[in-house]
Amino acid sequence: MNTYELTLIINPQISDAEINGVVEASKKILADRKAEVIADDKLGRKKFAHNIRKNRDGFYIFLKVKAEPESIKDLKRSFGLQDNILRSMFIKAGENQTVKA
């Protein structure tokens, strides 16, 4: 298993309760694909340099995940199909980085 950093940008036009629901649904998608969420952090609303799907800002969520490399392609596709997730990005964490839970 490798450690990945997952950043999700969520549609800003939904309520805080719906944002929490999207985060929990994302964690369920990860768990269904045998990925383990090590840490999560809500970074809040940030303004974009360029509009994404006619939105000027978005709600950022950062997740530290342990997953098999083969499952990342499927996870990217799953997050891309979600209506309330504007963007998702996986980055493989470096070997020298420490993971804080």
- Measured N-to-C along each axis, helices 16-32 and 72-80 cross at an angle, to the nearest 10 degrees, of 150
Q: Give residue 14's domain range.
A: 2-59+70-92
CB 35 within 8 Å of CB 67: yes
Quote the pLDDT of residue 93: 87
Residue 13 falls within a domain, yes or no? yes
At residue 16's C-alpha, the angle toward residues 13 and 20, to 5°, is 115
Q: Count CB neighbours of 15 within 10 A.
A: 8
Residue 97 falls within a domain, yes or no? no
The H-assigned helical ranges of 8-51 are 16-32
47-75: per-residue pLDDT in tens? Answer: 999 998 899 999 999 999 999 988 899 99
Total-model pTM: 0.83
Residue 17 falls within a domain, yes or no? yes
CA distance 2 to 94: 10
22-52: per-residue pLDDT in tens? Answer: 999 999 999 999 999 999 999 999 999 999 8
Residue 75 falls within a domain, yes or no? yes
Residue 39 falls within a domain, yes or no? yes
The enclosing domain of 50 has a CATH number of 3.30.70.60
Number of domains in the chain: 1
Quote the pLDDT of residue 58: 94
Residue 32 falls within a domain, yes or no? yes
Residue 98 falls within a domain, yes or no? no
